[in-house]
Structure 1
Amino acid sequence: MTLTADDLLCATTEIMGKSTYGTAYKATLEDGSQVAVKRLRDKITKSQKELTRLMYWGRMRHPNLLALRAYYLGPKGEKLVVFDYMPRGSLATFLHGNIFVTNVLMF
């Protein structure tokens, strides 16, 4: 999948949840495909170097981990990480069966 910043800006989004790391969104791209985007809070990562380190972690492959597809560091310091969207809910809901747990991406 090739993804640009413009693709994300043109996508329709809905909030999936919030955590101490940031806010998670389900983004539907113009071609109909879906990704999960997490906008990280300012204190989570401070630099391009730290985001690049995330990409190294994103190369890990395991059936129980979401693939990290991309990251973005904007001119005003906004930080986004992009994952595959998993339509069946969160890991927390699967493990604990709590219907009140929001669908939040954890990494």
Structure 2
Amino acid sequence: MTAPAESAADRVAAAVLAVPGVTGLHAGSWGEVGTYLPGRRVDGVRLRDVSTDVHITVAMGSVVADVARAVRAAVADLVTTPIAVVVEDVTSPTRDPGGSIGP
């Protein structure tokens, strides 16, 4: 099976997940935040003509405003629209992307 082509949403997601303090992307309270691609979805990233929305979870103990600022900076070169960062949750700093808590 061929791997899906990387999309703009994938590039945004990868940049966001590389920011220290970000523990994951979040689909929103009702699962409403995401970008639909053929056969899959990128949760937590919504690309629109007028804005880019990024919903994240942040590690406990992080300075939320600093993490949000770093997310905006990481995404700024990838999009041409204003970037809105929403912190949906605060999680254990050792939580892995699958959601389990490490030692």
TM-score (norm 2): 0.29
